[in-house]
Amino acid sequence: MTPNQKPNQPYDAVPVAPQSKRGGVGRAIGIVVAIVAIGGVAWLVRVRTQAPAGQGGAPAASGSAARVIPVTVSIAEAKDVPIVLEGLGNVLPLATVTVKTQIDGRLDQVLFKEGQNVKKGDVLALVDSRPFAIAQRNAEAVLARDQALLDNARLNEGRYQKLLEQKLVSEQQLTDQHAQTAQLMAQVRQDQAAVDAARLNIEYARIVSPIDGVTGVRMVDQGNVVHASDPTGIVVLTQLDPIAVLFTLPEDDLPKIAQKQKESPLVVEAYARDGTTKLGKGELLVIDNQINTTTATIRLKATFPNPDRALWPNEFVKARLVVTTRKGAIVVPAPAIQRGPSGTFVYVVSDDGTAQPRPCEIDSTQGEIVLIAKGLRAGEKVITDGQSQLAPGSRVSTRPQSSASPAP
Are the beta carbons of 243 and 273 closer than 8 angstroms?
no
Q: Taking the CB of residue 109, how many other CB atoms lie within 10 A of it?
A: 14
Are the beta carbons of 316 and 88 closer than 8 angstroms?
yes
Percent of the chain beyond pLDDT 90? 55
Q: Which pLDDT value is given to residue 407?
A: 44
Are the beta carbons of 407 and 278 closer than 8 angstroms?
no
Q: Which pLDDT value is given to residue 167?
A: 81
Host H or E run for residue 405: none
- pTM value > 0.75: no
Q: Which pLDDT value is given to residue 82?
A: 86
Are the beta carbons of 331 and 74 closer than 8 angstroms?
no
pLDDT, tens digit (0-9, with 9 covering 90-100), for 297-312: 999 999 999 999 999 9
- Nearest of 335, 405, 348 to residue 375 by alpha carbon: 348
- Mean pLDDT (whole number) for 42-68: 48
Question: Is beta strand 278-292 parallel, antiparallel or unpaired with respect to 267-271?
Answer: antiparallel
62: Cβ–Cβ under 8 A, 6 or more apart, which residues?
49, 391, 393
Q: Taking the CB of residue 112, how many other CB atoms lie within 10 A of it?
A: 20
Q: Which pLDDT value is given to residue 27?
A: 63
Q: Which pLDDT value is given to residue 40?
A: 62
Q: Which pLDDT value is given to residue 126?
A: 95
Q: Which of 215-219, 224-228, 368-372 has the lowest mean pLDDT?
A: 368-372
Q: Which residue did the predictor score with more confidence, 38 or 259?
A: 259
Q: Which pLDDT value is given to residue 34?
A: 67
Q: Which residue did the predictor score with more confidence, 232 or 6?
A: 232
Q: Which pLDDT value is given to residue 60?
A: 40
pLDDT band at residue 41 using 50, 70 and 90 as cut-offs = low
Q: Is the pLDDT of residue 48 over 70?
A: no
Q: Is the pLDDT of residue 316 over 70?
A: yes
Q: Which pLDDT value is given to residue 347?
A: 93
State how far the Cα of 379 lies from the Cα of 326, in Å rounded to an integer: 18
Q: How many helices and strands (H and E) does the chain possess?
A: 4, 22
- Domains within the chain, CATH numbers bracketed: 64-80+328-400 (2.40.420.20), 85-94+239-326 (2.40.30.170), 96-128+205-238 (2.40.50.100), 130-204 (1.10.287.470)
CA distances 239 to 102, 117, 331, Å, are 22, 9, 42
Q: Is the pLDDT of residue 255 over 70?
A: yes
- Mean pLDDT (whole number) for 221-248: 93
Q: Which residue did the predictor score with more confidence, 51 or 180?
A: 180
Q: Is the pLDDT of residue 378 over 60?
A: yes
Are the beta carbons of 202 and 133 closer than 8 angstroms?
yes
Q: Which of 55-69, 159-173, 301-315, 384-398 has the lowest mean pLDDT?
A: 55-69
Q: Is the pLDDT of residue 190 over 50?
A: yes
pLDDT band at residue 15 using 50, 70 and 90 as cut-offs = very low
Q: Is the pLDDT of residue 52 over 90?
A: no
State how far the Cα of 338 lies from the Cα of 345, in Å rounded to an integer: 5
Q: Which of 44-53, 155-164, 373-382 has the lowest mean pLDDT?
A: 44-53
Compute the mean pLDDT over every residue in the chain, rounded to the nearest whole number.
84
- Mean pLDDT (whole number) for 329-340: 91
Q: Which pLDDT value is given to residue 170?
A: 82
Q: Is the pLDDT of residue 63 over 60?
A: no
- Mean pLDDT (whole number) for 177-191: 91
Q: Is the pLDDT of residue 198 over 80?
A: yes
pLDDT, tens digit (0-9, with 9 covering 90-100), for 335-356: 999 998 889 999 999 988 899 9
SS3 of 98, please? strand
Answer positive or negative: Cα dihedral of 288, 292, 296, 301: negative
Q: Is the pLDDT of residue 10 over 50?
A: no
End-to-end CA distance of the chain: 98
Q: Which pLDDT value is given to residue 297?
A: 93
State how far the Cα of 256 lies from the Cα of 253, in Å rounded to an integer: 6
Q: Is the pLDDT of residue 177 over 90?
A: no
SS3 of 117, please? strand
Are the beta carbons of 304 and 90 closer than 8 angstroms?
no
Q: Is the pLDDT of residue 1 over 50?
A: no
Question: Is beta strand 394-400 parallel, antiparallel or unpaired with respect to 69-75?
Answer: parallel
Q: Which pLDDT value is given to residue 201?
A: 94
